[in-house]
Structure 1
C-alpha cells in the first residue's frame, strides 16, 4: 500500500495537504480500512425500537461481515455473525423478520434467540455436541442514544472512552448532548442514500462549511454564519453552536416556524442554535432545539457508501404526525436537501480521485484545517507513518 503525503504546510501558502487520490480509490486501502477501522471499532447500526419485541431481528453489514441483531427473550437485544456453525450458510436471508428461533435453511440447524444451538437433524444422537460452542458467534452490543451499537472485535475498545467520551467532550459541560434526551425521541422520518463516493469524502464534507455558500442556499438562509465558511466543528474538538438568523423562526426549509414542540431540557445556550459532531468512524449527530438528525454511514466499496439518515422528534410529535394532525415535512426537507446537495458534490468529486492531476492529493484551507485531525486519525488507524519532514518533499510513505 502506497500513500503520497506532502509536507505541511504547502510551500508559500497557508494550505495543508490531504491524502493522495488513491486513498479514495484503491481497493487494497479500502480493505485495510474495513479491517482496521470498521471491524475493530464501535458502529451504530439501527434504532433499538426497530426491534420492539422478542423475536424481531434485522440484518446489518459492518465491514466485510454480515450480522443479525435480534431482540431475545432473556437478554434484551443481542447480535451475532450471520454464519451457521455447521457449514457456514447465512442463517437469516431476508433483511428482517420475526421468528421464535433462527434456523439455517441448508441443514435446518436451529438456534435460540439467545444464540445457543437448540435443534438439528439427528442432534439427539450426538450428545457430545456443545450447544453453546456450536451456537451463533456473538458480537459485542451496547445501546446508547436509542440506537444499537456493535463491535466485531474479540476485545472491543472501551465504549465510554471511544464513543461517549468523544461526544461529551465535544459538546462540553453547557452544550451537553444529554439535554436533548435523544434516547427518548422517536423516529419521525428516515431516508437512505446510496452515494457513489468514498466514505471519507462524505466525512470530510460533513465536517466543513467552506462549501456551504456555494451549494447550500436553504441552509445558509437559516444559519447565515455558514455562508462565511466556518463550520460548527472546529479544530481541537471544539464544537461551536451556530446561530439561527435573526428573522428565522425554525430549522425548516424556508425558515418558518416548524409547529413542533421544543425539546424540554435543552439549555439556554442551545436555544436557536445548531450543533454538529462526528463520532468516528461512521456517525454524524446534528441537534437543533426541536429535533435531532443522525446519519449512519456504511461503506460498501472504495467508491460507494450507503448513508441512513434519521429525523428524531418528541414522542408526542410523532404521534400527532401519524394521526395526520401535524406536518414535519418542512423540518425534514431542509436537511434532506442538504444531504442531496452534499452527496451530489461527493459523487462529482469521486471520479477525480483517480486523476493524474490529483495523484498527490489536494489542499485544506484554514477553515478546513480541523479535517487534518481526521486525516491524522486515519493514518494512525491504518498504521501509516506520519508526514515526512519538509526537506523530504513528496516521497512515498509505505
Structure 2
C-alpha cells in the first residue's frame, strides 16, 4: 500500500546500526537463510521485536480518557489505553486472575478496565482496584496483581509500545527525525478511509518474509525497471537519504515534466500541501523507516503509516492507515485521491516483486550478490539485524 523510495549513497561511517561502509566498500545484504530459517524467525521475536518500539496506532484512535484497543507485539497482545490525565499506558492484554483477554475490540471510553469473565477491575493505569467476593480469595494482594505494564510512547502523533523495560525512548533514539518531518505529523492528524494500523482484519498479507518487504521499501534501485509510474513522477537522480542509527529518511523531488499518464499528469497539476505544510513541501515526497519495521510516507497531500508484521516465515501482514488534517482544500483532497490510487498500483507491483524474491531466496545454494550504492539503506538494515541477532545465528 505504498510507493517506494530510491536512496542515494549513505554516510560513510557511523555507530553499529549504520552502514559502516566507505564509498568504495561493498555493502552486504543478509544471507538467504535470514529470510527462510524458522530458527532465525524465533530469534527475531526475542531479539528484535521484543526489544524494539512497535507501531500500534495513532493518537486519534484513542480520542479520550478510557479509550482502549489491543494490538499484537512480538506474539503478545498488548492493551493500549488513554489515561485519565490524557496520557498513554500499555499493558499485556490479560487479566491477572485466570488469563482472560480483557479487550477484543476498540472501545471509545470507559472509567476502568473490567474483566468480562469474573469481573476483576483495574484502573486505567493497570492497578487492581476490585475483585468480586474478595474475602473469598485468600492472599489477595492488590498492589502485586496489577496488569503487566509495557512501555508506551507517542512519537510524531503515532503510538508505539515496547516490551523491553530498559528500552531507550523512541524520541531519543530517533533524535533529528521529528525536526525534519514533524510538521507533517502530530496528534492532530485524522484518518482517511477504513484502514487503521491496529486493525489486522483489514490488513493486506504479502507472500514474503517481513524483511524482504522492508528491504524493498529501503531501495529504489528497482524503480526504473519495476515502477513506471514512479519513474514518470519522481526525479530518480534527485533522491537523497539520511541514514542514522535508528532511522533512515529519504527525499525525492517531483519531476517538472508532465507525465504521459493522464492520472499522474492530473496529480502533478493538483498537488498542493495540506494544512501545516509549506509551498516548499509541494514538490517533494519524503519517506521514513524507523528500525525495524515502521514505515511512514510523507506526501504533500497525506501521510501513510504502516508496519510489516511477520505472520509466518514467508508471510507478513502490512496494516496501515492514511491521514490528513482538518481544513484541507478541495484541491488537496482530489490530489490525495489520485496519489493513493497511484500508490495502490505501485503496491501491487511490489507485492509481486517481494513474492518473487522470497521464492528465489529459498533456492538451495543461493546467496545474494553485492549491493548497489543505491541500496545503502538495505546495507544499514542488514547490519542492524545482524547486530541484534549476534550470538543467535550460527
Q: 2:157–2:186: 8 Å Cα contact kept in structure 1? A: yes
Match of 1:187 in 2: 191
Within a 5 Å distance, the mapping from 1:283-322 to structure 2 comes to 283-317=294-328
CA displacement at 1:118 relative to structure 2: 2.6
Gaps of 5+ in 1: 1-7, 386-396
State the distance in 1 between where 2:42 and 2:76 align.
12
Within a 5 Å distance, the mapping from 1:111-122 to structure 2 comes to 111-122=122-133
Q: 1:198–1:301: 8 Å Cα contact kept in structure 2? A: yes
Which of 61, 71, 81 pairs up with 1:50? Answer: 61
State the distance in 2 between where 1:371 and 1:130 align.
50
Match of 1:24 in 2: 35
State the distance in 2 between where 1:178 and 1:128 align.
50
CA displacement at 1:255 relative to structure 2: 3.3
Match of 1:277 in 2: 288
State the distance in 1 between where 2:176 and 2:43 align.
24
Match of 1:215 in 2: 226
Match of 1:40 in 2: 51
Q: What RMSD in Å do the two structures reach over aligned CA positions?
A: 3.2
Which of 111, 119, 141 pairs up with 1:108? Answer: 119
CA-to-aligned-CA distance 1:268-300 (integer Å, 9 cap, x gap): 654411122211011122223332222222222
CA displacement at 1:162 relative to structure 2: 1.5
Gaps of 5+ in 2: 1-19, 196-202
TM-score, scaled relative to structure 1:
0.79
2:249 is the alignment partner of 1:242:
no
Within a 5 Å distance, the mapping from 1:312-391 to structure 2 comes to 312-317=323-328, 328-358=336-366, 360-384=367-391
State the distance in 1 between where 2:322 and 2:189 align.
10
Q: 1:199–1:297: 8 Å Cα contact kept in structure 2? A: yes
CA-to-aligned-CA distance 1:174-216 (integer Å, 9 cap, x gap): xx21232444322224643211211111111011111112221
2:187 is the alignment partner of 1:177:
no
Which of 64, 72, 80 pairs up with 1:61? Answer: 72
Q: 2:275–2:325: 8 Å Cα contact kept in structure 1? A: no
CA displacement at 1:330 relative to structure 2: 1.0
TM-score, scaled relative to structure 2:
0.80
State the distance in 1 between where 2:194 and 2:45 align.
26
SS of the residue 1:350 aligns to: helix
CA displacement at 1:62 relative to structure 2: 0.8
